[in-house]
Chain A
């Protein structure tokens, strides 16, 4: 889930609070539009399969993701609504996804979403022509469509980062394997470098040409919440820390660390600003220069943060069931022991019999 987004096309931040989409320019917030409105069902939309019903919106409507391209903004909401707006924030198209979307990407030709069932779909710009792209076996936690539109990168709860060709996503290019828990967020730093953070509390920098990690950093404080990138700086957030790293070549070095008073929900960054949403709930804007955050100021304008709602995702950490296997192996061990004992006593009995036969013959 990502509710804070830096829109490089307008040099402003977009923030979703509840169903409301806000724009932050300088330190002023402006309400743009209310999202998540359920579209009327149209005949244009094809149901998933013949005989199956078209997907229905369900659940409360609040924003769970935002993506931008030059002429459009895409928003995904908790109630399964996917919609696009033009730059005046007039709604251009909307549809209901099959399952709740977890990430969204938009270009001037397509909208791509990943969902909680682990699947990814592409839509035409008017959100009518839906195509199945790929499927993971667990929830897709984050997704990147590379700027050259040649690859779709998805990461899941089963520790995997998968790089598929695009739009022929059935053709998997490679996997980045190294995390030992769910992969929470990924960022493409350059055509050859990917950054990821996972539930194993690792931050990993990957070389995409070799599919190998080039650097692994441990978390300064428990679980990661999110990461953000403003070249050449990376901001990695735990619940109370924002650690800034500088990327030089293929190495990350820490430049600064900020401790917050409240738990962080999301972060977004530009060249000169960092927007931070905390659980107070509070929205703060920092100056950002040379990899250091400073000059915190509050956001002005009518913004009702109390409407903020957390996205509900299935349990991220694995709940391992051993289902009495220890019992089975214990029983097996005992059974084999008993069988061996029986064998031995049988053998001993035979030996005795033979011996007594011998003595009998002798005698």
Chain B
């Protein structure tokens, strides 16, 4: 069998910005019940569940770092750009060949803004990562931003109560925007992780973006948020059909 080579970035160059509002051709399941995760993870069993999601995983740096740290946990990266997600795919194929680990991490080429509920059931995720999101500086592009009041409802839906969202940015304005949106959202609270939170420690150093910021002696800001119970339903008993 021909050895799978480690991918080289120069073969996977793609423009950094993609319009998440337009209709690209994606494969996504009609609902989480019909999603076949074994296509992504060779050892996935019916009782397993994906617990971590890296939104906009880029070239896969975070997943490569987290995978051996949480070997029992299945984690997935969502990446909208074709070539970049292809790179991550090839990267994991090569890594799995050479190592016993890395079988628990993979990438899906999809649009996180539209299809999170197609992949994940309510309260399925334990951790979500939003690292160095595209700033989309222009006001007309704000609706492309991955953090918005509307989308926070979806993130709260796929995260379990007590689950965590980890955010990082090297653009202060983006960090402030995320902090403002998350803290004003009734289902999230700012969270100070304890020293044992391994994921919190690798936020800056593990991604390509983060390493670039360190090289250029730039600054990164992190903020972590916890998914909390709806304060509104405490006023009246949670209503069901």
Which residues of A does B touch, CB under 8 Å?
A: 117-119, 132, 134-138, 148, 150, 158-160, 164-165, 168-172, 174-175, 177-178, 180, 191-192, 208-209, 318-323, 325, 328, 332, 335, 339-340
Cβ 8 A contact of A177, one of B21, B118, B153, B185: B118
- Chain B residue nearest to A207 (CB atoms) is B241
Residues of chain B with a CB closer than 8 A to A180's CB: 30
Cβ 8 A contact of B117, one of A150, A160, A165, A209: A160
Residues of chain A with a CB closer than 8 A to B11's CB: 332, 335
The reply to whether B30 and A118 contact each other, CB–CB distance below 8 Å, is no
The reply to whether B23 and A319 contact each other, CB–CB distance below 8 Å, is yes
Residues of chain B with a CB closer than 8 A to A340's CB: 2
The reply to whether A322 and B2 contact each other, CB–CB distance below 8 Å, is no
Q: Given the known inter-chain contacts A158-B114, A191-B241, please indicate yes or no for A172 contacting B153, CB distance below 8 A.
A: yes
Q: Given the known inter-chain contacts A135-B151, A192-B241, please indicate yes or no for A172 contacting B114, CB distance below 8 A.
A: no
The reply to whether A209 and B25 contact each other, CB–CB distance below 8 Å, is no
- Chain B residue nearest to A315 (CB atoms) is B23
Contact sample, A vs B, 24 pairs, CB 8 Å cutoff: A117-B143, A118-B150, A132-B149, A134-B150, A135-B148, A136-B150, A137-B113, A137-B114, A137-B150, A165-B232, A165-B233, A168-B230, A168-B232, A170-B149, A172-B153, A172-B154, A172-B156, A175-B31, A177-B31, A178-B30, A320-B24, A322-B25, A325-B82, A340-B2
| Min distance, Cβ A340 to any Cβ of chain B, angstroms | 6
The reply to whether A165 and B239 contact each other, CB–CB distance below 8 Å, is yes
- Chain A residue nearest to B18 (CB atoms) is A323
Q: Given the known inter-chain contacts A171-B230, A174-B122, A318-B23, please indicate yes or no for A164 contacting B153, CB distance below 8 A.
A: yes
- Chain A residue nearest to B232 (CB atoms) is A168
The reply to whether B156 and A170 contact each other, CB–CB distance below 8 Å, is yes
| Min distance, Cβ A283 to any Cβ of chain B, angstroms | 36
The reply to whether A328 and B82 contact each other, CB–CB distance below 8 Å, is yes
The reply to whether B148 and A172 contact each other, CB–CB distance below 8 Å, is no
Most buried by A among B2, B117, B153, B239: B153
The reply to whether A320 and B150 contact each other, CB–CB distance below 8 Å, is no
Across the A-B interface, give the 5 residue pairs with the lowest CB-CB distance, nearest first.
A135-B150, A177-B31, A168-B232, A318-B23, A172-B157
Residue B51 is within 8 A (CB to CB) of chain A in the complex: no
Cβ 8 A contact of A321, one of B23, B156, B232: B23
Residue B152 is within 8 A (CB to CB) of chain A in the complex: yes
Residue B135 is within 8 A (CB to CB) of chain A in the complex: no
The reply to whether B114 and A171 contact each other, CB–CB distance below 8 Å, is no
Give CA–CA (A319, B157) in the complex, Å. Answer: 28
Give CA–CA (A178, B21) in the complex, Å. Answer: 21
Residues of chain B with a CB closer than 8 A to A177's CB: 30-31, 117-118
The reply to whether A137 and B24 contact each other, CB–CB distance below 8 Å, is no
| Min distance, Cβ B89 to any Cβ of chain A, angstroms | 11
Contact flags B93-129 to A (C-beta < 8 A → 1, else 0): 0000000000000000000011101100010000000
Q: A135-B153, A172-B122 are in contact. List 6 more A-B contacts (CB 8 A).
A: A137-B20, A150-B239, A165-B233, A171-B233, A209-B241, A328-B86
| Min distance, Cβ B60 to any Cβ of chain A, angstroms | 17
| Min distance, Cβ A206 to any Cβ of chain B, angstroms | 11
Residues of chain A with a CB closer than 8 A to B151's CB: 135, 137
Residue B83 is within 8 A (CB to CB) of chain A in the complex: yes
Residues of chain A with a CB closer than 8 A to B148's CB: 135
Residues of chain B with a CB closer than 8 A to A328's CB: 82-83, 86
Residue B22 is within 8 A (CB to CB) of chain A in the complex: yes
The reply to whether A321 and B153 contact each other, CB–CB distance below 8 Å, is no
Q: Given the known inter-chain contacts A175-B117, A320-B25, A321-B25, please indicate yes or no for A168 contacting B150, CB distance below 8 A.
A: no
The reply to whether B187 and A171 contact each other, CB–CB distance below 8 Å, is yes
Residues of chain A with a CB closer than 8 A to B230's CB: 165, 168, 171
- Chain B residue nearest to A178 (CB atoms) is B30
Q: Which of B71-91 contact A (CB under 8 A)?
A: 82-83, 86
Give CA–CA (A135, B21) in the complex, Å. Answer: 13
| Min distance, Cβ A173 to any Cβ of chain B, angstroms | 8
Give CA–CA (A318, B25) in the complex, Å. Answer: 9
| Min distance, Cβ B5 to any Cβ of chain A, angstroms | 8
- Chain A residue nearest to B157 (CB atoms) is A172
| Min distance, Cβ A305 to any Cβ of chain B, angstroms | 36
The reply to whether B152 and A170 contact each other, CB–CB distance below 8 Å, is yes
Residues of chain A with a CB closer than 8 A to B113's CB: 137
| Min distance, Cβ B37 to any Cβ of chain A, angstroms | 17
| Min distance, Cβ B137 to any Cβ of chain A, angstroms | 16
Residues of chain B with a CB closer than 8 A to A148's CB: 239
